Amino acid sequence: MAATEGVLLGMGNPLLDISAVVDDAFLAKYDIKLNNAILAEEKHLPMYDELASKSNVEYIAGGATQNSIRVAQWMLQTPGATSYMGCIGKDKFGEEMKKNAQAAGVTAHYYEDETAPTGTCAVCVVGGERSLIANLSAANCYKSEHLKKPENWALVEKAKYIYIAGFFLTVSPDSIQLVAEHAAANNKVFLMNLSAPFICEFFRDAQEKVLPYADYIFGNETEAKIFAKVRGWETENIEEIALKISQLPLASGKQKRIAVITQGADPVVVAEDGKVKTFPVILLPKEKLVDTNGAANGFELRLLDILFSVPDNQSSLLLGDAFVGGFLSQLVQGKSIEDSVRAGCYAANVIIQRPGCTYPEKPDFN
C-alpha cells in the first residue's frame, strides 16, 4: 500500500549541520583537530557565524531522528508522508532548519525557544577529512506543552508509526511517554532506537519506562552489548541479545516486539517471535566511500559513535540514521521485514557515497 499523508512521525533533537570547506588557519584559530567529534566549548561559539559566512556553506536539517525522517520521506516520494517535532531557537539558523525540512517534504512543527539558539553542528572540511563540533542549545529544550497543543497533537493522531531515537530520553521523557501510551491505546506502531552506549548506561531508568511500549527496537552491536551488560545478561552474542531484547516485557495492548541490530559490514540481526534471522549487508568498495563519519548526521551526543560501527578492515561504512530511514519507508507501506532491511541497507549505501546526510533527487530502490 502507498504511504498516506502523515503516516510517520518522528520526535527528536534537531541540529542544523553547517558544512563548509575551511583551511588549516581556521582549524588552528578554533583549536580543532581533524577526524574528531566534540561538543562545543565557549571558544568555538563564534565559529558558527564564521562558517555560515563562507561562500561554499551548506545547511542540512540534521539530528538523528530528523535524518531518519528525511531519508524515509525521500524514499517514499509522497509529499507530507512524514512529520517531525523538536526544539529550535528563534534565529537565522532556525529559519534555515525550517526551510531545509520543508524542501525535504517533511511537515515539521518545531517548538521555538525564546532564549536558546538553534542547535547546530559545525562540519569543517579539509581535503576530504572533517571535524564535527556540536552545540546542542535549543535541541535540549523541548517541552511536552508544545506536544499537547491541538495543532501538534494532530500530527500524533494522524501518524500510524512513531519513531524516536534514544537521545530524546535526555530531553523530554514525558513527551515520549505521552506518544508511547497513545500508540499502545490506538494500535499504532511505536519504534525506538538505543542510539548510544551512554543512553543505555546513564539513562537506563528513562529507557526502561518506555521500552515496554516499543514494537521495534533498533541499535548497533556496541549499544546492544552495553544494553546486555547493564542488565547482567552475561553474553556478548548479538543474536542472543537481540532475542532477549525482543522478549522484554510488553505494555498492555502490545502483541510482540522486533529487535533490529546492525553490526557494520556483518549481517543485520532481526529477532522476532522467538527466532533470529540474519540479512547480509551490501558492501561498498573503499573508493566509493565519501562520508566516513556521517558528517554530523545524527551527531547529537553520540560523537563518532555512529550507529553502524564498522570493523577497521572492512571496506564498508553504513550510516545508522539512513538505515532506519530506509527501513521505515517500507515498513509504513506494509512491506516485509526483508524488504525493510534491504531498503535500510540501500539508503545507507546511497548516503555513504555523498557528503553529509544528503541524497539524489529520487531513490533507485525496487
Catalytic residues: 321
Q: Which amino acid is at 253?
A: G
Q: Give dist(CA 160, CA 135) in Å, integer.
A: 32
Q: Are 161 and 9 in contact (CB under 8 A)?
A: yes
- Reported as type and span, the H/E element at residue 95 is helix 92-103
DSSP state of 258: E
Q: Which residues contact 27 (CB under 8 A, 6 or more apart)?
A: 33, 34, 124, 126, 131
Three cell numbers, residue 24: 588549516
Percent helix, strand, coil in the chain (nearest 5)? Answer: 40, 20, 40
The residue to which cell 527496537 is assigned: 217
Q: Give dist(CA 356, CA 112) in Å, integer.
A: 25
Q: State the CB neighbour count (10 A cutoff) for residue 10.
A: 34
Q: Are 243 and 254 in contact (CB under 8 A)?
A: no
- Reported as type and span, the H/E element at residue 266 is strand 266-272
* Dihedral pair phi/psi, residue 319, rounded to 5°: -100, 130
Q: Give dist(CA 58, CA 52) in Å, integer.
A: 8
Q: Give dist(CA 170, CA 152) in Å, integer.
A: 21
The SS3 call for residue 80 is coil
Q: Say what the alpha-carbon torsion angle 173, 72, 14, 95 is, to the nearest 10 degrees.
A: -140
> Sign of dihedral through CA atoms 96, 77, 189, 5?
positive
Q: Which amino acid is at 77?
A: Q
Q: Give dist(CA 315, CA 288) in Å, integer.
A: 9
